[in-house]
Each structure stands twice: as structure tokens, then as C-alpha cells.
């Protein structure tokens, strides 16, 4: 095996996009009702296998779906998103109870468990589909996300500038079935062990009081 092939194989092992199985089941996830006991948050922070696994452990989170948002093509398939032909980001849509977990807490965990300073890149996952973005569902969420970024920039928590985009939430397309709850169903896979598991270790160490 030559050097180029070896490097390609290693990067594939640690990359979210190395599995391209397709199904015909794709749906447009409609916006859910927002009230005092049900809120929705939408984040993109690299591979959605990672972000989903992290937030599934957070107290007050009632449901998470992985999918695609922020693009310009209807009903995108995973392979199309990975080829960067649809403009979508891999994201998660979180349904949560604001009486149990504040939106600000979700923002804190979001920024703590991915690198918001690398443009279109998280580790070996490279491409616009892996961009860091917050898709707000209300003016209040937009204000809180903007204020939080200003705070961490003021406190100089990162050596490099924050590149996280703040965009209004639009259509969120559900990803294929095998992407849902991916980590918990594929813990023995290399990507899960070497990329996702360390994020969960950090979450459990520093945010124990916020976990289920």
C-alpha cells in the first residue's frame, strides 16, 4: 500500500462521510410548536453523529433528529450533501424542555464539544457540510446566540476567531434511518471510538450536573 492510499484509508477511518449507504426515506421535518414546555434548537457542528451523541445525554432534551439544513436543494440525500452539491450542513434538531435546560446551556455545550474556529472543518471531516452554525427559531434565540459568541470572544476562550454562522432556521430534512442514534448503535466502529467517545468523556467530566 503506497503512502497516498495509506493516508486516504486512515482519514476515511476517522471521517464521518465514509459510509454512504442510501435509503429512499427522506422527509421534511416541520417546525414544532414552541411554548413554555417545548422548544426547538438546531445546531451544526461537524458530523451529526457527534453532535447527536452529545446532546442525547443532556437533561431536558426530549428528542433529537439528525438531518440536513441550510441548503438549496429539496430532499437531499447524504451522498449529495457529502459531495457539497446541495449547500446543506449536517445538523441536529433538538426538542427540549426549557424548564429543565436553558437554551444558553445548550449553547455552552455546543461550543464546548466542537471547534468553532475551524472553517468548514472538524478534525478529518472537511467540507461545507461540516460548518459550524446555529439556526435560530426565534429572535430570542438569535439574540442569545449572538451574545454568547460575543462573550466567549471577549473572554478569549479560543486562540482563533469564532467562525460559527448564525442563520434563521429553515427547512430541516431528516437524514436516512441509519444516521439516527448512530453512536449508540455503532459504538464499536472506529469513528465512534476515536472521535465521538472523547467528546462524550469531556461532556461527562465537565457537565455532569446537566446530564440525565
Q: Which residues are catalytic?
A: 47
CA pair distance 118, 104, nearest whole angstrom:
22
What phi and psi, each to the nearest 5 degrees, are found at residue 8? -60, -40
3-state secondary structure of 38: coil
How far CA 6 is from CA of 10, 121, 145, in Å, comes to: 6, 21, 41
DSSP states of 88-151: -EEEEEEEE-TTTS-HHHHHHHHHHTS-TTSTTEETTEESGGG-EEEEESSHHHHHHHHHHHHH
Q: Please choose, from the candidates 176, 151, 146, 178, the residue with its C-alpha nearest in 3D space to the C-alpha of residue 164.
A: 146
HEC string of 170-183? CCEEECCHHHCCHH
Amino acid at each position: 500500500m503506497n503512502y497516498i492510499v495509506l493516508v486516504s484509508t486512515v482519514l476515511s477511518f476517522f471521517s464521518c462521510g465514509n459510509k454512504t449507504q442510501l435509503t429512499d426515506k427522506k422527509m421534511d421535518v416541520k417546525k414544532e410548536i414552541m411554548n413554555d414546555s417545548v422548544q426547538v434548537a438546531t445546531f451544526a457542528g461537524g458530523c451529526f453523529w457527534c453532535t447527536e451523541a452529545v446532546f442525547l445525554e443532556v437533561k431536558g432534551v426530549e428528542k433529537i433528529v439528525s438531518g440536513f439544513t441550510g441548503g438549496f436543494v429539496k430532499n437531499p440525500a447524504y451522498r449529495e450533501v457529502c459531495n457539497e452539491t446541495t449547500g446543506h450542513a449536517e445538523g441536529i434538531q433538538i426538542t427540549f424542555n426549557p424548564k429543565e435546560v436553558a437554551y444558553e446551556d445548550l449553547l455552552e455545550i455546543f461550543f464546548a464539544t466542537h471547534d468553532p474556529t475551524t472553517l468548514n472543518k472538524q478534525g478529518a471531516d472537511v467540507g461545507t457540510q461540516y460548518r459550524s452554525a446555529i439556526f435560530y427559531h426565534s429572535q430570542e434565540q438569535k439574540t442569545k446566540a449572538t451574545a454568547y459568541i460575543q462573550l466567549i470572544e471577549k473572554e478569549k476562550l479560543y486562540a482563533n476567531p469564532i467562525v460559527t454562522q448564525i442563520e434563521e432556521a429553515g427547512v430541516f430534512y431528516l437524514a436516512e434511518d441509519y444516521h439516527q442514534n448512530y453512536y449508540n448503535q455503532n459504538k464499536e466502529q472506529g469513528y465512534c471510538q476515536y472521535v465521538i467517545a472523547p467528546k462524550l468523556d469531556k461532556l461527562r467530566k465537565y457537565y455532569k450536573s446537566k446530564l440525565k
